[in-house]
A = this chain, B = another copy of it.
Amino acid sequence: MKISIIVIGDELLLGQVTDTNSGMIARHIAPYGWSVESVETVPDSHDQIIAAIRRAMHRSRVVITTGGLGPTRDDITKAAMLEVFGGKLVENAEVAANVRRIMEGRGHKLNALTATQALVPDSATIIQNLCGTAPIMWFDTPDSTLVAMPGVPAETSQMFEQEVFPRLFHRFSADTHVRHTTLTVSGITESDLAERLATFEDDLPPYLHLAYLPQASIIRLRLDGVHADGALLDRQFDENLSRLETLCADLLLYRGGHTPAEELLTRLKAEGLTLATAESCTGGAIASALTSIPGCSEVFRGSVVAYCNSVKRAVLGVDATILHKYGAVSEPVVIQMADGARRTLAADIAIATSGIAGPGGATPGKPVGTVCIAVATQNETVATTYRFGGSRELVIRRATLTALALALRATLPQSPHP
């Protein structure tokens, strides 16, 4: 099934807000064999909203709109919907109760503007928005289905994944069985991995598909399957997934679509271990990735961002002679940084980085993009040197993801069959 998305809002065309909803929708539906055919962004304009809706309904069986709803903009978008789908605005008691509940939960009084949100077209089926005040409106015509959703990303993603897509899938793909599993791997380039998996991909039955989702220094591999025969799908999917895992055994970090930071925290929490970082070139980016995850405080003890050598010496205990002999960007120094972080921050595992993010700072033999990373565990401290390409931002991002991947590899549960 191919769908079209219409993104509504002046703020998007002014560049004040970046649309992330259409990407969220695309990523969520891909494993089900659905795809996005086009995304169009239009201003809060009656005529342009109507023209975009008509174009999208002409193109796709299913159309999603995001945004253009909310107390101050309702009138334009709802008037456009009435013009396309007919009907009139009526007060919906359930929506009114939901608006009241949400506003009271936020400690606000219900004002006249938010009360207008309870007025909805009687030509729409209403889905309650559990995360916000703007209701979701579902319109059907003989040829198309359009679902109008709010635009706040946290609301849109939760409501699309939990309420809207399950209904769309049930309506249009009820006879379809779906399987998907993500493997996160590291330590290989995308082209080398594609070469290794070429025969595997050629041998896949037509209803199974392997997607490559590279992210700086890690690659997610997602095996998708869609078929009317659930038993056949299960058998083929499991066989091929097992073959894929064997082919990637030396690269596999973990199963599942979560982030490396989430996986690392989950794994360490399960083993009762704590984590710390000592960051030079990543400058707090690893700590920031870890602390963006709720509940991280059970595992993460903290970080020393040692951006100058005196902090490396004074706080992390790096030896001045080692610093002088090998330079700050060196394996002996990151090893001492990692050991120092374990000791100073009293953690079981420590990650340390030191590198040249650029654009300046290169020295002979150490070009921009040179990054040393060490992981210290109870058993050993191991350092590796990388040469990353790209801008300062990309070098920092690659160093961050590589450091998390190294920590994951260092904490991999020992395989029972070596």
Residues of chain A touching chain B, judged by Cβ–Cβ distance below 8 Å, are 12-20, 22-27, 30, 35-43, 48, 106, 154, 213, 277, 279, 281-288, 290-292, 294-297, 300-308, 310-311, 314-315, 344-346, 357-361, 389, 391-393, 396
Contact = CB atoms under 8 A, between A and B. Distances in A.
Kindly name the residue among A20, A36, A154, A302 whose own CB sees the greatest number of chain B CB atoms within 10 A.
A302
A16 B344 CA distance: 40
Contacts of A295: 360
A302 B306 contact: yes
A304 B302 CA distance: 7
A344 to B, nearest CB: 6
A37 B40 CA distance: 11
B294 A284 contact: no
A310 B26 contact: no
Nearest to A281: B291
A352 to B, nearest CB: 13
Contacts of A39: 12-13, 40-41
14 contacts: A15-B23, A15-B24, A18-B23, A277-B305, A279-B287, A283-B287, A283-B296, A284-B284, A291-B357, A292-B393, A294-B359, A302-B311, A303-B307, A314-B346
A211 to B, nearest CB: 8
A291 B39 CA distance: 35
B291 A301 contact: no
Given A38-B13, A288-B283, A294-B358, A315 B307 contact: no
B304 A304 contact: yes
Given A307-B300, A346-B314, A26 B48 contact: no
Contacts of A17: 23
A403 to B, nearest CB: 13
Contacts of A18: 18-20, 23
Q: Is the interface of A mostly helix, strand, loop or mixed?
A: mixed
Contacts of A306: 302
B314 A344 contact: yes
Given A13-B39, A303-B303, A314-B344, 8 more contacts: A15-B24, A15-B25, A16-B23, A19-B19, A39-B41, A284-B303, A302-B315, A310-B346
A262 to B, nearest CB: 13
A391 B30 CA distance: 27
B292 A305 contact: no
A331 to B, nearest CB: 21
Given A291-B284, A308-B297, A359-B294, A14 B38 contact: no
A126 to B, nearest CB: 25
A23 to B, nearest CB: 4
A346 B310 CA distance: 9
Given A288-B288, A303-B305, A35 B13 contact: yes
A310 B295 CA distance: 17
A14 B291 CA distance: 29
B308 A302 contact: yes
Given A288-B284, A308-B301, A15 B30 contact: yes
